[in-house]
Amino acid sequence: MDKIHSLSSQLTLLFFDHDHHWLHVIIHFILVVTPLTLLILAVTYIYSAINRELVERRNYSFNSKVCNLNLPGRITLLIKKYTYKQQAYIALGALLILPVTYATLELPKQIINNALDGDSYDQSTTFLSLSQINFLFFLCGLYLISLAANGGLKFILNFYKGSISEGLIKRLRLMIFSLHRRSDKDKRSEHLAPVILQEVEPICAFSGDSVAVPLIQGGTVLTIITFMLLQNVALGAAVIALLPVQLIVIPIFQRRINALVYERLQEVRFLNEQIVKEKDNKINTGQRLIRLSFNKLYFLRLKLFKTKFIMKSLNNFIMNLTPFFFYTVGGYLVIEGKLSLGALVASLASYKDLASAIRELFQYYQSLQDARTRYSAMISYTRSIKTPF
């Protein structure tokens, strides 16, 4: 601990002229505690991912043989099997967005520092020796072009993502319908309609985002952090100061949500069976079970709402707390003359995009877990359908 404390003091003096006690605490947190926590979380995640991969590979052959649809045992393999070519185009488009994103961050800083600052403006060093006004309009034109290019590329990618999802939805629905056609027409096969109409869509809707969101949003996060690190290392580190807290808190809530989603799916199928039995038998013996099922679905939905909203509120609070480090560290650097005002303003403006990208990544994680849960439930359900051999 003494070594860590000493390292924090050295880092504070490296970036600042003196070691204020409040500044020492902040630098200790963002430059020592945060990197160590991220390292521990990264090692833990890699170990868990490798272990999960080994388990899923052992179960893959069993899942493929038992599943009547002859589908892969996990949703990521399903997406890879049927959409890998389209995902490659998505990846290429996502990579094209990153340099345009960086341009939208750098140009506002150049406008403030070089075009608007009349005292430091030097016409001989500008492009084609432009006057200050013409140079301002030139930079603003480049900024407008970069915004248009960024919006256009994202529109194309979003439309293409939707087409990928709809294509996989259509394919999986046809496969489940063919299972219904060749089944022995047992009672369970008659209940495939809710699976075809309701459960396939949220599963396959994830396919369009499976590659695009990590590349686009993850690339945006890395681009913005790189931009901030180039302005000042301490300012860039402040951006991810609270990221370890999010990486610890969000998965805890998500595991609870996954369990509730799976339980709700099973209850919906049970309710569907009871309603069909009630209609076929024309008796009232199943009404009590149906009412109990309605009540259970109601309370399950309330639990889902409570868990999701608590997780969302905590995440929003953490995201809104991050600008505190910007104003503290960045403001001090501007006052000391170690950071330009344009760089701080550009960093503050870009944090809005950074926060949005981080939220998108956490939503992607939630969508992935939800799709995995639903896909696993669908695979388990189709195994029980009897088909002639």
Query: Three-class SS of residue 189?
Result: helix
Region of poorest pLDDT, from 11-25, 82-96, 148-162, 345-359: 11-25
% of the chain with per-residue pLDDT over 90: 4
Q: Per 3-state DSSP, what percentage of the chain is helix, strand, and coil (rounded to 5)?
A: 85, 0, 15
User: What is the average per-residue pLDDT within 263-280?
Assistant: 77
pLDDT band of residue 152 (cuts 50, 70, 90) is very high
* Distant-in-sequence, close-in-space partners of 141: CB < 8 Å, separation ≥ 6: none
pLDDT band of residue 13 (cuts 50, 70, 90) is low
Query: Three-class SS of residue 4?
Result: helix
User: What is the average per-residue pLDDT within 235-239?
Assistant: 74
Is 157 within 8 Å of 216 (Cβ atoms)?
yes
User: What is the average per-residue pLDDT within 238-245?
Assistant: 76
Structure confidence at residue 146 (pLDDT): 92
Q: Which two tokens stand for residue 55?
A: 């388990």
% of the chain with per-residue pLDDT over 70: 76
Structure confidence at residue 145 (pLDDT): 93
CA distance 5 to 15: 16
Residue, of 66 and 325, whose pLDDT is higher: 325
CA distance 332 to 232: 12
Prediction pTM value: 0.69
**Residue-wise DSSP of 334-373:** HHTTSS-HHHHHHHHHHHHHHHHHHHHHHHHHHHHHHHHH
pLDDT band of residue 191 (cuts 50, 70, 90) is low
User: What is the average per-residue pLDDT within 57-66?
Assistant: 51
Q: Indicate the angle between helix axes 243-281 and 34-66, nearest 10 degrees.
A: 30
Region of poorest pLDDT, from 52-61, 285-294, 373-382: 52-61
Q: Is the pLDDT of residue 43 over 80?
A: yes
Q: 156-159: list long-range contacts, CB under 8 Å, 24+ apart.
A: 156/93, 157/90, 157/93, 157/94, 157/97, 157/212, 157/216
Q: Is the pLDDT of residue 148 over 90?
A: yes
Region of poorest pLDDT, from 25-34, 80-89, 219-228, 343-352: 25-34
